[in-house]
Structure 1
Amino acid sequence: MSVAEPRRIVLFRHAKADWPEVPDHERPLAERGRKDAAVAGRKLADTGIPFDLALCSTATRTRETWKLAVQELPHRPKTVYEERLYEASPGELIAVLNETPDDAQNALLIGHNPGVQGLADILAGRSEADAQDGVSREFHPAAFAVLSFTGSWKSLEPGAATLLDYWDPSE
């Protein structure tokens, strides 16, 4: 695989979580979240992107979201559960993505807001002033952004990607 071929990354926010009396990391999906996660999986399949790698936060709600969504994909990518994705800032998320092996052409990151939304905006070169366009609007649970960039994963940095698509279950 050539680093000159465009890579795609999907930034996927976990589906709607419930609020039981458990630590935040252990919060499960709400019933609506379980439904939205499956629908998001079908929409991910509709993109036609052959994912090589899924990076998923270790939080219960992200693992449950991924478990439901991946069942809808035609091909199950290698999945890595990564503790560093929980409560990660956009910069921390970029650092994790920079470690992705270059034989992974297309990757999916299942994480949390505000990091996922911030990362989508930053990679696409948007600022808060651009909030009327693109992903900068509210990034609801189970929403995802599809971005494309050219180069190695180590070269992924702010402004390096193009927003190709955005899907939100509430729209």
Structure 2
Amino acid sequence: MSVAEPRRIVLFRHAKADWPPVPDHERPLAERGRKDAAEAGRRLADTGVPFDLTLCSTSTRTRETWKLAAHEFPHRPKTVYEERIYDASPGELIALLNETPDEVRNLLLIGHNPGVQGLAEILAGAAEDDARARMSRRGFPAAAFAGLTFDAPWKSLEPGVATLVDYWAPAD
């Protein structure tokens, strides 16, 4: 079943975290991460995609990444902090995305590696321009994001159904 307009999902890895002596879930962003999160937010805002929903991991570093990135958006989308994103596999992330309401057209997911990178690779059955080559070359460093489109309901999201249309990572 196709949809009239392609759906868009952007998979956004949290920005660079610091390593203080706290549990992993509570690690805050490093100074570089704060800078990169804001830059990623500007890049996402520049795409012009009107996000309907943001699903963000509950970890400190993902929440801080989203707060800094969202500040760059003209309109902040509804945000749901979802603990299932933390330490999720690509399959677990697909199961979560399959629950997305049909009225959501454009979704931003902020999470962690290796799940976010694995999900981008698994979903992308095709790619535009050199997006796949750039993602393969750079990997998925902190604050990177990949944009994908697909023409089906969220419950039909599965490996290979999406097209990788955008990829960005901060400069080294």
Paired residue for 2:7?
7
Deviations 1:34-68 (A, max 9, x none): 01000000000011000000000000000000000
2:92 partner SS: helix
2:93 partner amino acid: L
Alignment of 1:155-166 (within 5 A): 155-166=156-167
Q: State the alpha-carbon separation in 1 of the partners of residues 116 and 89 from structure 2.
A: 8
Paired residue for 1:115?
115
Q: State the alpha-carbon separation in 1 of the partners of residues 117 and 171 from structure 2.
A: 16
**CA drift at 1:170:** 2.1
2:51 partner amino acid: F
Deviations 1:55-108 (A, max 9, x none): 000000000000000010011100000000000000000001000001010000
Q: Which runs of 5+ in 1 are unaligned?
A: 127-131
Matched, 1:59 2:59: yes
Structure 1's consecutive aligned runs of 4 or more residues displaced over 6 angstroms after TM superposition are none
Q: State the alpha-carbon separation in 1 of the partners of residues 42 and 124 from structure 2.
A: 24
Paired residue for 1:140?
141
Paired residue for 1:129?
none
Q: State the alpha-carbon separation in 1 of the partners of residues 102 and 19 from structure 2.
A: 38
Scaled by the length of structure 1, the TM-score of the pair is 0.93
Q: Which runs of 5+ in 2 are unaligned?
A: 127-131
Q: State the alpha-carbon separation in 2 of the partners of residues 3 and 56 from structure 1.
A: 25
Paired residue for 1:37?
37
1:49 partner SS: coil
Paired residue for 1:72?
72
**CA drift at 1:134:** 4.9
CA RMSD after TM alignment: 1.4
Paired residue for 2:153?
152
Matched, 1:18 2:18: yes
